[in-house]
Amino acid sequence: MFEGVYTAIVTPFDRQGEVDYGKFRELIAMQKEGGVAGIVPVGTTGESPTLDVPEHEKVIETAVQAAGDTLQVIAGTGGNATSEALVLTRHAQEAGAAATLQVTPYYNKPSQEGLYRHFSAVADVGLPVVLYNVPGRVSCEIAVDTVVRLAAHPRIVALKEAGGSADRVSAILSRCDIGILSGDDGLTFPMMALGARGVISVASNVAPKAVSEMARLALAGQWEEARRLHYKLYPLFTDLFLDTNPVPVKAALAMMGLVEETYRLPLCPLSDAKKEALRKTLQAQGLVA
């Protein structure tokens, strides 16, 4: 159902710290031109923890409107309370999103049975669900056994795998039929070699054409060409995580003249040293002068 590149799109703020919906539409237009399959608003890269509910909902509505018929919108509507995830998911469904990205509930560290019941309840809303395994953020992994159980639900169609292990792709796909999207740019190529269908990408915010081409080549079985592009892009994949995501990618977009370099606390700008290292990488990639 979902394959190729889905950009985990940033939420631009103006200098006063308000969501800049005009810039957001411009970023989505850039993604259309870059040939990505879709966008993922209000995820980690979209600074979802610092948006209030009205902003969260308006960002999703704006994304769906700007995406039109060209891009699929996988809306970030997760929460650490199932009731919150249900409210946000129903809104995304009404707004016209193609699917929901459901992060593992954070802070309360539920059991695997709790995770199963949580994700099943969200899937019962009726919107296709992309599970989001990211233990580095939430201190709680969706176990392989739980993924297999959840894959039996007709609305749980994919998994964003950001656990840092390509081995999990083999473990999951050997036991069930669920679409896997890499959650780490640097692991996209090896995960696709094992059967993943694409990536929910941070790097495609700044290089949508190149990241899309790498995924297209991998899907076409042109592994040598995809491998070469992976290694060309690898310094970018690495340096966009010089600091906590999405600080580096938003700094990169600011260097490219596309957004204001504005964050909401507790996120704050890169150090000068990290910013200079990132600028050199962007220059080497031909993204800034």
Report domain extents, the chain.
4-220
Query: Looking at the domain that runs over 4-220, which CATH code has it been given?
Result: 3.20.20.70
Contacts of 175 (CB under 8 A, 6+ apart): 144, 148
Per-residue pLDDT of the chain (289 residues; tens, 9 = 90+): 899 999 999 999 999 999 999 999 999 999 999 999 999 999 999 999 999 999 999 999 999 999 999 999 999 999 999 999 999 999 999 999 999 999 999 988 999 999 999 999 999 999 999 999 998 888 889 999 999 999 999 999 999 999 989 999 999 999 999 999 999 999 999 999 999 999 999 999 999 999 999 999 999 999 999 999 999 999 999 999 999 999 999 999 999 999 999 999 999 999 999 999 999 999 999 999 8
Return the amino acid letter for 286: G
* Cα dihedral 251, 285, 238, 32 sign: positive
In this predicted structure, what is the pLDDT of residue 178?
Answer: 97
Tokens coding 64:
């769906």
In this predicted structure, what is the pLDDT of residue 224?
Answer: 98
Measure the CA–CA gap between 79 and 110, rounded to whole angstroms. 12
Tokens coding 132:
């989001």
In this predicted structure, what is the pLDDT of residue 20?
Answer: 98
In this predicted structure, what is the pLDDT of residue 112?
Answer: 97
Tokens coding 251:
């700094």
In this predicted structure, what is the pLDDT of residue 136?
Answer: 84
Measure the CA–CA gap between 230 and 235, rounded to whole angstroms. 9
In this predicted structure, what is the pLDDT of residue 17?
Answer: 96
- Catalytic residue numbers read 132, 160
Closest CA to 163 of 140, 189, 195, 196: 140
Measure the CA–CA gap between 74 and 177, rounded to whole angstroms. 20
Residue 7 to residues 118, 150, 159, 275, Cα–Cα distance (Å): 26, 25, 15, 22
Closest CA to 108 of 142, 143, 81, 89: 81
Is residue 8 packed enough to be buried (19+ CB in 10 Å), middle (13-18) or exposed (0-12)?
Answer: buried
In this predicted structure, what is the pLDDT of residue 1?
Answer: 80
Measure the CA–CA gap between 157 and 247, rounded to whole angstroms. 30
pLDDT digit string (tens) for 173-213?
999 999 999 999 999 999 999 999 999 999 999 999 999 99
Helix/strand number for the chain, H first, E second: 12, 8
Contact present, 111 and 84 (Cβ < 8 Å): no
pLDDT digit string (tens) for 210-248?
999 999 999 999 999 999 999 999 999 999 999 999 999
In this predicted structure, what is the pLDDT of residue 182?
Answer: 98
Closest CA to 239 of 279, 289, 287: 279
Q: Model-level pTM?
A: 0.96
Measure the CA–CA gap between 253 and 236, rounded to whole angstroms. 13
Q: Tell me if residue 153 falls in helix, strand or coil.
A: coil
